Amino acid sequence: MDDGSWSSIPRPRWAALVVVVGIAGAAAVVAGLRSRLSPTPVSPELFLTGAPVRTLEARVSYPGADVHRPYGPLRSGDAGGPTPAPLRELARLEAEGDMHGLAAAYLVRRNAELAAPYLAKAGTSPDVASDRAIMALDQGDSATALALLEGVLSAQPRHAQALWNRSLVLRDLELWALAARSFDAVAALGEPGWAAEAKTRADAARARLMGTEDRRKISARGHALVTQGEPVSAEVLRAYPGMFRMYLYEAIRAAPSVERLRALEPMAAVLDARAGGTTLGDAIHRASGRDFQVRAPLAQRYLELYRTHDVAGGLAAFLEDLRDAGEMDLYLGALVREEKVGERLEELAPLISQLGDPWFTLLLEHERANVAISRGELLQAEQYLLKAASLCQQHPFGYRCIPIEADLGDLYRQLHRLAESHRHLQAARALYRTDPRFGETQLLLQLGQLARYQGDAAQARAYLEEALAQRPDDCTIRHFVRSNDALALLGSFSVEQARERMREALSCKTPLLLSGAKTLADLARLKPDPEQDARLVAGLSERRQQHTLTPGEAALLTHIEGRFLVEQDRVRGEALLRQSIDEARRLPATSVDARKARAYSYTSLLFAAARAGEAEKAFQLFGEELGGALPGQCVLAVTVDVERTLVLARGPDGRLVEHHDASRRTPLDEELQGLVPESMTAMLRACPTVEVVARPPLHGRAGLLPEDLAWAYHGVRPQPAVPAVSTGRRLVVADVQAPTSLGLPALGGWAGLPGDDATMLLGRQATPSRVLEAMADASQIEVHAHGLMNPDVSEASLLVLSPEAGGRYALTAGEVRATKLRGQPLVILAACRAAHGTTWTYERFSLPVAFLDAGARTVLAATVDVPDAEAGPFFNAVRERIQRGERAANALRDVRMTWMRRDPRSWVRAVLVFE
């Protein structure tokens, strides 16, 4: 029950309690509406409209509060601050129930903390949503701010305050082209004062872009330096140090004489001074000592290679001549120029080591990583890139380090280590600010992909559209952005719009992206289009013939081809799907593309069997994917795929019933209402316990079956290599002291059952490393702690434990999965949302799954917040029944129903069993 009082809400075992208040009350709404229709005159002091400047950069949507004055932020030396709001005006607004007006009075004074409770009660409208975005912007939450403002502008495209505030968010994200475009839209509204300021801000945003003209000028200066030795001013060198360092190395190699080399020394000195060290000067000194009777003709040939990517006699002969002459800097340069370093790593490693130039050491480690990635060895690539990134801390050459940090970010995205991906992509952006180079658009595309993986659709669109806005004539970027748009639109069942985006993507004659190919395969099933279907077939063939795919991508391509064909020619399609599964099986477990290929291929095989009415074959496929036969009775197997649903149920008599549907046109309901037909549920009621096999993204979600059924998520796990440790030791983790920086409330003390004999890790002892160590041999594990959503894995949960000396406090699913639970324990996770898993469509990933993978026999956890005072009594009652010999699912069902008789909406509805 919620009476609006903070004290009436049970204290949750979670980081933050978010209260969404829609309407404060009917009387308040009527009063607020009356005040908006015939507003009472207010004094200028209420919204500071009489002040010469405004201190809030954003625009408040409340009428009367949005009067233009020049922006004048408070400075540290300013006395006081905005004058307090007049109490009589606040009292009047309070009496009228005008929550939005009260919030506005505090927002214009930059007091978001006091504005928050009023804005939460202000109802829902575009104006209120725009002002909520101000609060998100104030907190640095650009993702929430963008999402709110997109909603406003989709309803009211000319909403002036939302356009302005969106411009500020885009500026803070350094998306300069979009920010300029958004400020231009405000200026076009022609509002007094605001239009002129918007134009000024738009011009300032455009000035931050390194446009096409700048690129041409820099390229022309760099080319003149290499080909003619034309000097570059110190100012330009300091503005683009990485790019001109690259050009200077080329100029050294192409120099026809010692005199040309000496003319480069002043520029080398400027760049060396900026970076620290003397490596460029040393390179000139070494080259000057060579015999130019031999070197000059080779330098001339190198210049030919630089200009045309071709050289008389061919590259191989040129490389041999360079090696024979001992001109190894030219030899290395030619390999770099023609992107052949990865083919000769072992040969080049001693040479680069002898040079001692970090520029080339970074190149070597980066190339090693690229080779490892091409082989699908992602963890090996990670080590090379981490080594290079560490060297970048000492030698932040933007030209070299930006792509290293970006590739590391992209690697972590592929590994679904999203927090690390974000950190390295932002490190690349930081380097770009101080050492700009061509290729920022690639970084924006990577940030857009990452945001989409994190489920942040608004920010994903912003990054991707910025890349396209900066390079509107780049067909490859257009293809990438529009393919990603189509994929997102398909996910929201906007099929016709997805087709339209793919038409735009395919207008560019570039290699078909795998994401675009998968989208086309699904669209071919949902809304056939002969032209696009033909482009898919041709595009897949082109990609295969190019031989540029990693092994994981090749398996994914095979799947996409099979996914498309199985709808038209089942035999050929299923052969390709089986081939994809075989290709994926041969690859390392770290290959996300391989895991996707395997899971998605089973999806297509399942629905091909369902469409043919082959329920028994589909049931066998569920077990085959898990790695073992499923039980012969009391089983529910369920999977979804875009618009399709397949549900299979075996009752207590072993009879198999099938439900196959392809009519869904909206995303799945969070509660999964109606996913399992009532007739199947009725049949399963005769079962003592139901084993549920749910493929991602359904696995680990509450609501598949009613609360009064005993059911558990079922998994097939190989028998352990060694028998379970029979110590019977029980481990309890409680009284955790979470880091103060998280702002989490202290939890109540642990209270076990009478006669409990347990190993206790309490208070400061309950650190992640000690908990992991103690779990290894326990036969029961019970954790009473806060749970948080883990941004590292797209919101799978983590456990908040007591911090260690280095600050580490989180116990994540990845860390649990990597350990070995030799006691094959019963695990009770009495923490908020501990059962919450990722929404990936190809893999089960959550704390319960990680515990099972590590060796646990049973895990109990909830998908919702767990009230602190109720957690102990509830889980103790369930555990007591399990210890008496009841199956976990039955014990949970019986205790749950007892609690729900007192409170039908209790959190215990969302406690799940995983076995």
pLDDT in tens, 465-500: 999 999 898 999 999 999 989 988 888 889 999 999
Q: Model confidence at 796, in pLDDT bands (50, 70, 90)?
A: low
For residue range 680-711, list pLDDT tens digits in order: 999 999 999 999 999 998 998 898 999 999 99
pLDDT in tens, 559-594: 999 999 999 999 999 999 999 999 999 998 878 899
Contacts of residue 819, defined as CB under 8 A and 6 or more positions apart, other chains included, come to 772, 775, 776, 854
Question: Which letter does DSSP use for residue 877 in this model?
Answer: H
pLDDT value, residue 44: 80
Distance from the first to the final alpha carbon of the chain: 33
Beta carbons of 826 and 888 less than 8 angstroms apart: yes
How far apart are alpha carbons 647 and 692 in whole angstroms?
A: 11
Describe the chain by its helix, strand, coil percentages, rounded to 5: 55, 10, 35
3-class secondary-structure state, position 847: helix
Higher pLDDT residue, 799 or 652? 652
Residue 802 Cα to chain centre, angstroms = 27
> What percent of the chain lies above the pLDDT cut of 70?
91
Nearest to 648 by CA among 602, 601, 689, 695: 695
* Strand partners for 816: none
Nearest to 464 by CA among 485, 495, 493: 485
- φ, ψ for residue 639 (rounded to 5)? -150, 155
**What is the mean predicted confidence (pLDDT) over 541-553?**
91
pLDDT of residue 759: 85
Crossing angle of helices 592-611/551-565, nearest 10°? 10
What's the rounded Cα separation, in Å, for the pair 896 and 898? 5
Rounded to 10 degrees, the C-alpha dihedral 608/609/611/615 comes to -160
Strand 656-661 and strand 644-650: the pairing is antiparallel
Least confidently predicted of 203-212, 502-511, 593-602, 889-898: 203-212
Residue 535 has pLDDT above 60, yes or no: yes
Q: Which residues contact 541 (CB under 8 A, 6 or more apart)?
A: none
Q: Are 372 and 384 in contact (CB under 8 A)?
A: yes
Quote the pLDDT of residue 80: 55
> Contact at 8 Å (CB) between 369 and 388?
yes
Identify whether the C-beta of residue 302 lies closer than 8 Å to the C-beta of residue 258.
Answer: no
What share of the chain in percent tops pLDDT 90? 65
The residue among 356, 385, 355, 353 whose CA lies nearest residue 368 is 385
Return all residues near 14 (Cβ < 8 A) that are at least 6 apart. 786, 787, 788, 832, 833, 865, 866
769 to 744, 773, 816: CA distances (angstroms): 21, 6, 11
Residue 598 has pLDDT above 70, yes or no: yes
**Strands 858-862 and 826-830, sheet pairing:** parallel
* Residue 720 pLDDT > 90: no
pLDDT score, position 34: 37
Q: Are the beta carbons of 63 and 124 closer than 8 angstroms?
A: no
* Average pLDDT value for the chain: 88
Q: Is the pLDDT of residue 22 over 50?
A: no
pLDDT exceeds cutoff 50 at 421: yes
> Considering the entire predicted model, what is its pTM?
0.80
Phi and psi dihedrals of 264, rounded to 5? -85, -10
* Sheet containing 644-650: order of strands: 656-661, 644-650, 635-641, 690-694, 711-713, 911-914, 858-862, 826-830, 780-784, 730-734, 759-762
Average pLDDT over residues 163-168: 97
- Going by pLDDT thresholds of 50, 70 and 90, the confidence category of residue 238 is very high
29 pLDDT above the threshold of 80: no
CB 827 within 8 A of CB 858: yes
Q: What is the mean pLDDT of the segment spanning 747-759?
A: 68
Q: Where are the beta strands (DSSP E) in 747-816?
A: 759-762, 780-784, 786-790, 796-800, 810-811
Are 847 and 830 spatial neighbours (Cβ–Cβ below 8 Å)?
A: no
Return the residue matching tokens 């390194």. 210
Residue indicated by tokens 């996707």: 596
Is the pLDDT reported for residue 292 higher than 60? yes
* 683 vs 633: CA distance, rounded Å: 11
Query: Which DSSP category does 846 fall into?
Result: S
How many CB atoms neighbour CB 407 within 10 A? Answer: 23
Residue 383 host element (H or E): helix 378-394
Report the alpha-carbon distance of residue 260 to residue 229 in Å, rounded.
7
The strand pairing partners of 780, in sequence order, are 730, 826
742 pLDDT above the threshold of 90? no
Residue 389, pLDDT above cutoff 60: yes
The Cα angle at residue 398 between residues 393 and 401, in degrees rounded to 5: 55
Residue in the structure block whose two tokens are 């004999």 = 757
The one-letter amino acid code at 895 reads: V
Q: What's the pLDDT at 789?
A: 62
More confident residue, 272 or 739: 272
36 contact partners, CB below 8 Å, separation of at least 6: 63, 98
* CA within 13 Å, CB half, 53: 10
Q: Please name the residues in contact with 347: beta carbons below 8 A apart, sequence gap of 6 or more.
A: none
Read off the pLDDT of residues 806-858 as tens digits, 9 standing for 90 and up.
Answer: 788 888 888 898 899 999 999 999 888 877 777 778 888 788 998 999 999 99
663 to 280, 563, 642, 657: CA distances (angstroms): 66, 19, 10, 19
Model confidence band, residue 23 (pLDDT cutoffs 50, 70, 90): very low
Span 129-164, pLDDT tens digits: 999 999 999 888 999 999 999 999 999 999 999 999
Nearest to 62 by CA among 28, 91, 35: 35
Cross-strand pairs, 762: 734
Residues 6+ apart with CB under 8 A from 33: none
Find the DSSP H helices in 547-611: 551-565, 570-585, 592-611
DSSP 650: E
Condensed to tens digits (0 to 9), the pLDDT of residues 433-461 reads 888 887 788 899 999 988 888 878 899 99
